[in-house]
Amino acid sequence: MEAETAHATDEYGIPVIPCPSDAARRKRQLIIDAAAAEFLAEGYSAASMDAITSRSGVSKATVYKHFGNKERLFLAVIGGILPGSCAGPEPRGAALADAPDLRAALIGLTRDWAALLLRPDVMALRRLVIGEVDRFPQLGRLWYRLTYDVNNGPLVEAVTELGRRGKLDAPDPGLAVQQLVAATVGVPQLVHTFAPATEVDEAELTRVVTSGVDLFLARYAAS
């Protein structure tokens, strides 16, 4: 039974690490914080278990006792960070159907979403997952699922409802949302993913998002 627990994973293939006792919880958190900093700074291959041990102030034996090996430590730590990276403004997709000004509501929603995704910590995590997705495809699957559930899913529901109310004419709400995201959030996200030194220009970000929303409405607003 202990062997099975030690190798247990969730539906995405992320290791399930049993909760420690109260006495061990502080050490566990020190390890997680140190590993996150090391992996984000160095990537998986260059990250050193010795460096993680040094950063955490916890013995190497304790690190291995909690997480088993470097691979499980990486998956558990980065997989644990990903849900928080999607957290931000409350999902407002469902509220779009009742917005008195749909254009303004879409601009506000996608502008806030873009600001979240362009945060340095979120961008660093995104680059790390992209860089390691061939080695750890489970992280890519988890990121995609979280992004859909937190952001795209509510928007699909809203576009569907707006269609029912005759405000939008989008026969394929899922495709319409993908196009909205690509034309608003996707443009600045792509730039900052591969050009990390690029500063966020707030005026330019608003211009891009507004143009993307106008493009979306030009295609899908009911006549």
Q: How far apart are CA 37 and CA 77, in angstroms?
A: 10
Token pair belonging to 92: 């407002």
Which tens digits make up the pLDDT trace of 40-76?
999 999 999 999 999 999 888 988 888 889 999 999 8
Q: How confident is the model at residue 212 (pLDDT cuts 50, 70, 90)?
A: very high
Higher pLDDT, 84 or 114: 114
∠ CA(222), CA(115), CA(94), 5° rounding?
40
| Close Cβ partners of 218 (under 8 Å, ≥ 6 residues apart) | none
Kindly state the average pLDDT of the residues 72-84: 88
Comparing CA positions, the residue from 27, 37, 29 lying closest to residue 62 is 27
Query: Where along the chain do its domains lie?
Result: 2-68, 89-220
3-class SS shares of the chain: helix, strand, coil, % to 5? 75, 0, 25
Higher pLDDT, 1 or 125: 125
| Close Cβ partners of 80 (under 8 Å, ≥ 6 residues apart) | 14, 32
Phi/psi for 9 (5° steps) reads -130, 160
Residue 150 has pLDDT above 70, yes or no: yes
Residue 86 has pLDDT above 80, yes or no: no
Q: How far apart are CA 105 and CA 93, in angstroms?
A: 10
Q: How far apart are CA 104 and CA 106, in angstroms?
A: 5
How much is the pLDDT for 5?
43
Residue 119 has pLDDT above 50, yes or no: yes
CATH architecture of 2-68: Orthogonal Bundle (1.10)
The SS3 of residue 186 is helix
Q: Which CATH class is domain 89-220?
A: mainly alpha
Residue 1 has pLDDT above 70, yes or no: no
Asked if residues 76 and 15 have their Cβ atoms less than 8 Å apart, the reply is yes
Q: How confident is the model at residue 151 (pLDDT cuts 50, 70, 90)?
A: confident
Q: How confident is the model at residue 90 (pLDDT cuts 50, 70, 90)?
A: low
